[in-house]
Amino acid sequence: MSVPPREPSHAHPAPLAEWKLLLAAALGGVLGSAARGGVQAAFGAAGLAEWGAHLAVNGLGAFAAGWLFARLATADAGGRPLGLPHVQRLREHLWSVGVLGGFTTVSGFAWDAAQAAADGNHARLALILAFNGVVGIAAAAVGWKIGK
């Protein structure tokens, strides 16, 4: 009786335990939140508005997300992303979900926009909306391009 040959272990890596992904995301979140706190403290020490710190971290975070995705994703022959391979899940959870998720702030963006609207400061509201939408997407695209 012959035994069929085994596939190489790298062909189909075993799925990671969910607790490992959760732990990676949690640890990354602590690091990202601490970094955002540092940026907010630096803006405060310089006498700059907290909403400006939110714009800075969201812009930097969008750039970093684009760069990270470019580094982790697989691509087709034309360079178009196909997604993240299974072997990159731990890095994705640590850096993207964790660090960048803690560093960037959608809730801060929403609060800043609501506060600008409540204050009747339409110029600041337009800046916040445009920056987080248009500049954020452009920053991610630049990060992607540089990451490739």
CB burial of residue 71 (10 Å; 0-12, 13-18, 19+):
middle
What's the Cα-to-Cα distance from 62 to each of 95, 111, 122, 129, rounded to whole Å? 13, 19, 24, 15
The reply to whether 2 falls in a domain is no
Q: What is the pLDDT of residues 72-129, one digit of tens each?
A: 998 888 878 888 888 889 999 999 999 999 999 999 999 999 999 999 999 999 999 9
Q: Which two tokens stand for residue 112?
A: 């800043």
Please indicate, yes or no, whether the overall pTM of this predicted structure exceeds 0.75: yes
Query: What is the C-alpha to C-alpha distance for residues 70 and 75, in angstroms, rounded to an integer?
Result: 9
The reply to whether 66 falls in a domain is yes
Which residue segment(s) compose the domain that 110 sits in?
Answer: 24-147
Nearest to 74 by CA among 94, 100, 62, 92: 92
Domain total of the chain: 1
